[in-house]
Structure formats: C-alpha cells, structure tokens
Structure 1
Amino acid sequence: MNTKPLIYVIDDEAEICDLVCQELERYNFSAQAFTTGEQALLAIKKQLPSLCIIDLGLPDMDGLSLVKKLFDDKKIGVIILSGRNSLPDKVLGLELGADDYISKPFDPRELVARVKSIIRRIVVNESPITSLHTASFGDWTFEQSTLTLANNKGDSFMLSAAETEILMVLLNAPRQILSRERLLSEDATSFDRSIDVRMSRLRKKIEHDHKNPKIIKTVYGAGYIFTLEVTWQ
C-alpha cells in the first residue's frame, strides 16, 4: 500500500510540471502532473489527492475557478503557483480557499517546504482524536475532526487547513494577545497579507459584523485576541 501523500501538479507548462514532480518525489511524495483543469478534475474523481498545486493560467479554465471548485466540493489542500503576481490575485486566491500562494519564478525547495507544512496540518486534522476535540464559544461550536464550524442558528461552514490552524491557535489561547508570528506558526515565510486574509475569512464566518469584530479583535501593534471563553468536550 502506497503511504506517500499524493500531490497533483496542474500547470500548462510541461517543464514546470516535471521540475515540481521531480522535486516532490525527492522528498517522498507521490506526484502526478496535468496540463489542463479538466484532466485534473477527472483524476480527482478517480483518486483524491492530499494536495493540488495549481497554476492560474490554465488553457481550459481560470485557475481561480478550479481553486473554488476544489474548496467547495472537496477537502483538498491547495497551493497556487502562478506568474500572476498581483496582490488582488493573491488575496482572491486565499479568499477562495487556497492554503498558500507562491509566485513564479520560485525556489523548488521553498515549494516543497510549503507542501510539507500543509500536509502536516491535514494529517493532524484527519488523525483520530482521543482527547477533547469539540470547542464551544458563544453561539458556536467547532468540530476539529471534521473541520466544521456551526452555530445554534443552523449556519455551518467547513474551514480550510489554513483557517483551521489559525482558529486552533486562538481557541487554545483565549483572552491572550497573540502575535502575527505565533498565528502564522510554520508559515511565517508566507507573504505578509496572508494572515490578514485568513483572519478576514474567519471573521466573516463567526462575527455578526466582520468589520467591527467582537470575537477576534485586533490589538494594534501587538496582534490579535480571542475574547470569548472556550470550553472543550
């Protein structure tokens, strides 16, 4: 049985696909390459990968549409690898559910490091949990085993691996000021806006008014604070 994490590389440049696949396989990943979004979607129906690396400039569809589809339909880690280096593309990619965004040209070793970080999150989140794993705060509960955030009004959201990592840090240190570096954890090399985008996504889900947050407050010059009491079951 193959226990190597499966990574799909989706890029219309065959040279990029070969380079990324070779580098991933050097570090004990199993990698498959696809040059169109449709090829990748057909493969995903047959075998679900742990993570997809997606170029935005695909010949048959916009890579951002593929990112959204994967986040809405499947629970797959996503890294965007693109020559589109504008801040709006980066922010939109993260808002649609991508876990990270790397611009071309890129260092293959950095890409592998980012892949490892996301895979570690996914493995932790999918591992059997023998201790307390359901957090309650205010009107909300978070089920760690399914990455599901739900409230008593019937609203329910599935969080991305990146959102889950930040929320777990907050839930395990309520009413403490946490620095941006602590929240980014292993992803401290991610571009500077990534923590703001992920925090914005969380606030849109749990805050009554995300522009005037009461649960996750910004402490200017210091970081963030989770204001509610948290109980675990």
Structure 2
Amino acid sequence: MKQNRLIYIVDDEADICTLVSEELERFGYETRICRTGAQAAQAIRQRRPDLCIIDLGLPDMDGMALVRQLGELQGIGIMILSGRDSTPDRVLGLELGADDYITKPFEPRELVARANSLLRRLEQIDAPAADSRPRRAAFGNWTFDPASLTLSNERGHSEVLSSAEAQLLNALLRAPRQILSREQLLGDRADPFDRSIDVRMSRIRKKIEADPKNPAIIKTIYGAGYMLMTEVSWQQG
C-alpha cells in the first residue's frame, strides 16, 4: 500500500467519522472529514482524493447524487458506507459508479481491508501506462485506453468508463477467449457482493454491444463466469 493516499470521509455522524478516520490513519492513510455533500464537493475541487467514503444520508443532499457526480470523474475510488441495506439501494449505488458498498454497523478493520483492495484495483488499471506494455487494446470495433478509461469505436463515438467498469473490462481484455469466474474478476475484494459484477457487466454491454440483451462480444458462461469472444491486439498509445 502506498503511504499518504488521501481519503475523504463524507458523513454527518461525528462518531463514525472519527472511528473511520483514526482506523485509516493507523494504516498510513491521510484523511479529511466532510460533514455535508457541499463540503465534499468543495474539497474535491481543491484537491482530488484517491478514495471517497460516502454516507447516503447527508443533511444537505442525497448521497446518491454525490456518488453520481464522482462517478463522472476519473481516478477517484468510491465506497458507500450507509445504513441503507436494501438490494435496490446497493444496485443503484453500483450503477451510479460506486466501487464498493458497506452497510452500517460495520467492522472498521474490514473497511480498511476493502479500501486497500479497492485502491490496489485502481493501481492495476493504471499499471499498463506505467510500464513497457502497450497502452491501448483494440477488440472488435472498439479501442480501450486504460490511461483515460475511454472506449472509442471506428465511428468516432467514445464512452468513459467508471473505475470499476474499467477494472472489469481490463481483466477480460488481458484474457481473451478465456472464461473468467466472478472470483477472478473481483480479485481479493473482501465479502464480494456478486450482484455488482452483473450490474457492471450490464453497463459495459450497453456501451459496446449492438444488442446488449444478446451480447456477442462478452458472453455469459452460465455457472462459470464471463468470456471475451474477440481477439485483442495491444497497441502503443
């Protein structure tokens, strides 16, 4: 883990903020507490964090709105920490761009472990740009640039993926025509919420498939996982 990575804790409960902040700082993270969505938005404009941990019950706005705003930015991990434990809330949070969802009450050490895992996955997305491997992946009619999380096709249309979507697509691109299980795609994420893979896969398919309901590029292998059906060529950016 890199030291001094910056994590914003966005929650109006003072005790929760103190608990999370102290636990993260014990493991070498720098933290900043924001008690409202407006404070968080201002802080992000001043200095972008590596990760935001967001409560959905903020006093000035629904936390989902903040998740949506952050989901449009690149390079910021998003973790929801909320007392809302319904499946619709979980799915909506993931659809809006959250990378992980933890419900209250929670175990502080588990939260740190999941933050570690999330930040490692974001590092892996950036890894191709940091070494000698080619930077862009061409598959089918699409090109994916891991450095900018951008998909573009031959017609000039482009889509920017969330960090979670990019991590999932990058894993498939690194293993074309191979079945990857949910466990392989989730990596070492603690206590995986399987529905998150389905949600993200659906979002990727809507962007790259001619008919998302009958996908030809990414196939579901029932009972086993997913497979990228096209060849992939890696090119210098």
Query: Structure 1, residues 33-82: CA drift from partner, whole Å, max 9, x if none?
Result: 11100011111111111110000000100100000111124531100000
Confirm or deny: 8 A CA contact 2:144 2:150 kept in the other structure. yes
Confirm or deny: 8 A CA contact 2:114 2:190 kept in the other structure. no
Structure 1 Cα separation of the partners of residues 188 and 207 of structure 2? 24
Give the TM-score normalised by structure 2: 0.93
Correspondence 1:82-121 to 2 at 5 A: 82-121=82-121
**Cα RMSD (Å):** 1.5
Give the TM-score normalised by structure 1: 0.95
Structure 1 Cα separation of the partners of residues 17 and 73 of structure 2? 24
- Uncovered stretches (5+) of structure 2, i.e. residues with no partner: none
| Match of residue 185 from structure 1 | 187
SS of the residue aligned with 2:207?
A: helix
Aligned partner letter, 2:228 = F
Confirm or deny: 8 A CA contact 1:36 1:59 kept in the other structure. yes
Q: After the TM superposition, which parts of structure 1 deviate over 4 Å for at least 4 consecutive aligned residues? A: none
Give the CA deviation at 1:168. 1.4
Aligned partner letter, 1:220 = Y
Confirm or deny: 8 A CA contact 1:80 1:93 kept in the other structure. yes
Give the CA deviation at 1:232. 0.6
Residue from 227, 230, 233 that aligns with 2:229: 227
Alignment length, in residue pairs? 232
Structure 2 Cα separation of the partners of residues 174 and 188 of structure 1? 26
Distance verdict in 2 for CA 1:231–1:153, change over 3 Å: same
Confirm or deny: 8 A CA contact 2:113 2:190 kept in the other structure. no
Distance verdict in 2 for CA 1:3–1:221, change over 3 Å: closer
| Match of residue 52 from structure 1 | 52
SS of the residue aligned with 1:154?
A: coil
Structure 1 Cα separation of the partners of residues 13 and 190 of structure 2? 29
SS of the residue aligned with 1:32?
A: strand
Correspondence 1:3-18 to 2 at 5 A: 4-18=4-18
| Match of residue 41 from structure 1 | 41
Identity of aligned residues (%): 59
